[in-house]
Structure 1
């Protein structure tokens, strides 16, 4: 886990790198990847699950029920991993989509472009969910000082 949190620039670099690799990779082979509908559904489900797992931590940071610190750390790790995974998957689908844009007039290309576009949006939903949950895990510096007993003044 990163001490300062995962930055949007890091997520963008991962997505761009994956997009470039897959764009050049699909240029080397003649066939574009097909995206099954189930992949899009699973990405959306993953975003919902990340938000659901992070919700108790959000409640805790807003004065709700207490959450163990180990669980909160695990949620933070999941959030950061989800954001990076979503960025990678978005890049993997974005590369072929960009290569397919000039051929949108063909019937098969239009359906592939639609599925690739929906997959990119679903993967970006995972990125957003991860970054939102990461933000929920952020604790004010003042909160840490309240838990530490103060030494008696002499």
Structure 2
């Protein structure tokens, strides 16, 4: 399986940002307020993938891949890799959504009270999206097979 390309993630982020900016520009008046907790739901997922990355890395690095206890089953490693790839895409899309939202709301923050209230929640969501992308790329890196059994990643 090929590694996730950062250029693909950036492209997704840009498309999501433009689409969100256009939608928010048209419908901002009918949107509910954005609380600080709105984007925070991705933080536990990012932390979970970060921890999973350390576990996978230690097991692969210690040649503990197999079917027994205290070993990483190869199917589990493949599932972790699929999770990492999907999470990177979701994180890039969410990051783009919050960037698009901020591009519309931030200039209005000095004159519109609702916009100034929404900026905090959008920033929390933006950082959560970036955290998810970072932890997903870390998990993907940790799932790489070592070269020639030496314990080092390719």
Normalising by the residue count of structure 1, what TM-score does the alignment of the two structures yield?
A: 0.82
The reply to whether residue 119 of structure 1 matches residue 117 of structure 2 is no
After the TM superposition, which parts of structure 1 deviate over 6 Å for at least 4 consecutive aligned residues?
none
The reply to whether residue 136 of structure 1 matches residue 142 of structure 2 is yes
The reply to whether residue 47 of structure 1 matches residue 46 of structure 2 is yes
Does the CA-based 8 Å contact 2:38-2:125 persist in structure 1?
yes
Q: CA deviation at 1:64?
A: 5.8
Distance 1:40 1:124 in 2: 11
**Equivalent position of 1:83 in the other structure:** 88
Distance 2:24 2:40 in 1: 24
RMSD of Structure 2 on Structure 1 (CA): 1.9
Normalising by the residue count of structure 2, what TM-score does the alignment of the two structures yield?
A: 0.82
Larger radius of gyration: 1
Structure 1 window deviating more from structure 2 (48-57 vs 125-134): it is 48-57
The DSSP-based 3-state class of the residue aligned with 2:149 is helix
Larger helix fraction of residues:
1
**Equivalent position of 2:74 in the other structure:** 69
Q: CA deviation at 1:55?
A: 2.5
**Equivalent position of 2:68 in the other structure:** none
After TM superposition, list the pairs within 5 Å mapping 1:89-108 onto structure 2: 89-106=94-111, 107-108=113-114
Does the CA-based 8 Å contact 2:35-2:120 persist in structure 1?
no
The DSSP-based 3-state class of the residue aligned with 1:35 is coil
Does the CA-based 8 Å contact 2:46-2:135 persist in structure 1?
yes
Q: CA deviation at 1:38?
A: 3.3
Distance 2:88 2:124 in 1: 17
Q: CA deviation at 1:85?
A: 0.5
The DSSP-based 3-state class of the residue aligned with 1:37 is coil
Distance 2:15 2:59 in 1: 36
